[in-house]
Chains A and B, each alone.
Chain A
Amino acid sequence: MTALRTLMAGMSALFSRRRGEEGLAAEIAEHLKLLADEYQRLGLPADEARAAARKEFGGVDQIKECVRDQRGFLWFEMLRRDIRYAVRSLSRAPAFTLAAISTLALGIGATTALFSVVNEALLRPLPYPRSQDLWSVRAQFTDGRVTTGLVSPVELKRLKEATSPNVTVALSARVNLTLLPPEGTPQAVAASAVDEGFFPLFGLSPILGSGFKAEYFRKNGPNGAVISTRLWHNAFGGDPKIVGKTLSLATGGVPILGVAAPEMDVPRGTEVWINLQLNPQDTGHGLDGYLRMPPGMPPAVLRSRLGVVAQGLGLAFVIEPFVKAMVGDLRPVLMIVFSATALLFILACVNVANLLLARASLRSREVAVRAAAGASRTRIVRQLLTESAVLATMGTVAGLAVGYGAVRALLRYGASQLPRLEVVPFDTPVLLFAIGMLVLCAVGVGLAPVLQLAGSGIEERLRERARTAGGTRSTYRALRMMLAAEVAVAVTIVAGTGLLVRSFLNLQRKDPGFASGGRLTLTCCCLFTNTGSGRAAGLAGCAVHKAAPDPRRDCGRRVFGLSPAAGWLRIRGHDAVSIGWLAGRARTCRSLSARGITGIFRGYGDPDQARPRVYRLRPAVHSAGGSGQREFCSNVSGGPRPALRQNFPRPWPYGPRHEPRDCRCSS
């Protein structure tokens, strides 16, 4: 209680300094007057009485100092004075201050930006209950055959038999659907067909509706869909009575059974989850597998159980933590870049320490004079450290601004497409990290000049100062050491960067097994609305890109049975099935062309859909190589309607009622 009262009194004194000073002065004046009156009553003249009173009272300034020390927090007062002194001292050397702050801002900014990305992608736990128990499972053939890693229903059955009831298993398969909103443009939505265990495994209940019930997963059971919160808001305006309404898709309507929790994002980017009625005998590998282990179960136990199951199937099950599976190859990349940025931070610190050392050599006389005037070594050390802390704080504040800008720029230029990096917040962990950097930086940067200036005696310092023009012998030694450290770190960074660039170039030069020059991969989804009958025809298509075919390595022709003729791609009649498959799995389409863009489209709900058509899309500007991809996409996706229409052949294949409304590309 007493401690609390003392704390409160100290705080109140901090915030009412002026009132306290006035009260103190008035009280001392009263006392002095009282004493002087006493002496006057005893017969002394007024002047002598006042002098005697002051003599008896003692040193007014000492008493005031004593009271001040007692009144507030002494350490706070001293810190305040040190900070004021440091700011004054730094403002006297603006060029040095600016150089130091900019260097630190770059180092801290880059490291904080990368940390915020690493924190978001690798450290932040997934938003699912007991997310550390979530694992992904992949199937791999043991005889060397190449596999996608996807799991088949047969394997799922065996997995469930071997691991239940402790471990829960679920599956999902990605599908592409075309959503036909009541009003507006049809849109392609990323959807996933999921099995019965999927939602219970992730443990997030829908925020609206009850989701899928068991009958939805039985053979010939009803169909339904659960939509994402994002789609619920964007396409349905957050309608609270959405459950039970029909979700209109190009392939038919399905009732909406619920709205998933906002955090639910498996597989990544899914907008609609539909029920998957599995045939347990199906051996097709097309499903992503997920596992939830019971709390405390070691992964080795699960691996051994899976090993037993896999033996009979001629394959191996590979499990890895779900977060790792989500992030994939991003983890090592991030760690490499983060390490490089940490080196950059060290380099910045060494640079600033060097600057401070150089400055310290000019300030040694000042320090010596202060020491001679009575400043203790602790006081000098504290003041020097405060100076470096002020520099580090300014650098950190500027660094946070740099980091924030850098993260926004990263997201703008494509990082938001990476897993778990849709949003990178500057939240508490990032700020704590920045504070940690600040402390590291303040100590790291400030220690060198502190050791330098406070280490030797005053006499020696003054003597050396008088003898040498620029600085003391020990200063030069320290400067040389710092310079060596700086060069070492810089060489490490440059060597590391060189190796990375070299590896990147080697990777680029690596033969992928087909002629990749001028090729691009592209997914194109064109959507049309039948405004006449209200029935829409969704078109999913794949644009292929080819003019100079390489007969030996024409993967598109080989895979899809396409044959080029006079710069066009034609499709043989019996390839309708291929084209249908291709249209449904547009992502697998490989581009082939170099000068023209040829689109292959298949219309859903079009009576003529059995007959494939070939259309030519000519981008306004196209250059071979990587840049052409963006130009094509921007041309198609951002192009106004007439421009898009112009690119299609005449007559318009779907009649006047089918107007192109939107065309989206992703690659």
Chain B
Amino acid sequence: MLALNQGTIYPALLRLQQKGWIKSRWGTSENNRRARFYEITRAGKSQLAVETEIWERAVSILSRMLEAKS
């Protein structure tokens, strides 16, 4: 399973936020702790759609290449 530590996640979240694809706010979590909540924005959703499509295309190309090889 993929494990990322905070040092990797934090700058990545900040980058996404700077691009306007996510937004964040301070709030209270379920177990009553202060926490920072991130949510995707409309620009983020459309970007996600674009990135997903690119990803799927890449995956399908790679799959086809692997199938052809086998």
Contacts and interface: CB of A to CB of B under 8 A. Distances in A.
Interface string A1-35: 11001100110000000000000000110110010
B34 interface: yes
A62 B14 CA distance: 15
A6 B5 contact: no
Max chain A Cβ within 10 angstroms of own Cβ: one of B7, B36, B43: B7
B29 to A, nearest CB: 9
A507 interface: no
Contacts of A27: 10, 36
Contact of A70 (B15, B20, B34, B36): B15
A71 interface: yes
A253 B51 CA distance: 86
Interface string A54-85: 00111100110011011100000000000000
A189 B17 CA distance: 72
Interface in B1-54: 5-7, 10-11, 14-15, 17-20, 33-36, 43, 47
Provide the main secondary structure of the chain A interface. Answer: helix
A62 B6 CA distance: 11
A75 to B, nearest CB: 16
A59 B36 contact: no
A425 to B, nearest CB: 43
A56 B17 CA distance: 24
Contact of B19 (A2, A66, A71): A2
Contacts of A67: 10-11, 14
Contacts of A66: 7, 10-11
Max chain B Cβ within 10 angstroms of own Cβ: one of A6, A10, A62: A6
Given A30-B35, A34-B33, A70-B14, A58 B20 contact: no
A39 to B, nearest CB: 15
A31 B4 CA distance: 14
Nearest to B36: A27
Contacts of A57: 5-7
Max chain B Cβ within 10 angstroms of own Cβ: one of A56, A59, A62, A71: A71
Contact of B7 (A6, A10, A62, A71): A62
Contacts of B7: 57-59, 62-63, 66
B11 to A, nearest CB: 5
A6 B18 contact: yes
A249 B49 CA distance: 86
A69 B18 CA distance: 12
A70 B18 contact: yes
A349 B56 CA distance: 60
A59 B7 CA distance: 8
Contacts of B11: 63, 66-67, 69-70
A9 B13 CA distance: 13
A63 B10 contact: yes
A5 B18 contact: yes
Contacts of A71: 14, 18
Given A27-B36, A30-B36, A56-B5, A9 B17 contact: yes
A31 B10 CA distance: 11
Interface residues of B, number: 17
Nearest to A71: B14
A586 B33 CA distance: 98
A618 to B, nearest CB: 85
A34 B20 CA distance: 27
B10 A6 contact: no
B20 A5 contact: yes
Given A5-B19, A9-B18, A63 B33 contact: no
Contact of A30 (B5, B19, B34, B43): B34
Contacts of A10: 18
Nearest to A2: B19
Nearest to A30: B34
B5 A58 contact: yes
Nearest to B6: A57
B61 to A, nearest CB: 26
A659 B7 CA distance: 95
B45 to A, nearest CB: 14
Contacts of B18: 5-6, 9-10, 70-71
Nearest to B34: A30
B14 to A, nearest CB: 5
Nearest to A9: B18
A58 B10 CA distance: 11
Given A67-B14, A71-B14, A6 B19 contact: yes
Contacts of B19: 2, 5-6, 9
A325 B19 CA distance: 60
Contacts of B33: 30, 34
Interface in A434-463: none
Nearest to B35: A30
A557 B32 CA distance: 113
Nearest to B14: A70
A59 B5 CA distance: 10
B44 to A, nearest CB: 10
Contacts of B15: 70
Contacts of B14: 67, 70-71
A18 B15 CA distance: 19
A563 B70 CA distance: 125
A30 B7 CA distance: 14
A30 B36 CA distance: 9
Contacts of A62: 7
A31 B36 CA distance: 10
Contacts of A30: 33-36
B49 to A, nearest CB: 14
Contacts of B43: 1-2, 5
B41 to A, nearest CB: 10
B26 to A, nearest CB: 9
A62 B11 CA distance: 11
A57 B6 CA distance: 6
A59 B47 CA distance: 31
Interface of B: 5-7, 10-11, 14-15, 17-20, 33-36, 43, 47
10 contacts: A2-B19, A5-B18, A9-B18, A30-B36, A57-B5, A58-B5, A58-B6, A59-B7, A63-B11, A66-B11
Given A2-B19, A56-B5, 17 more contacts: A2-B20, A2-B43, A2-B47, A6-B18, A6-B19, A9-B19, A10-B18, A30-B35, A57-B7, A58-B7, A62-B7, A63-B10, A66-B7, A66-B10, A70-B14, A70-B15, A71-B18
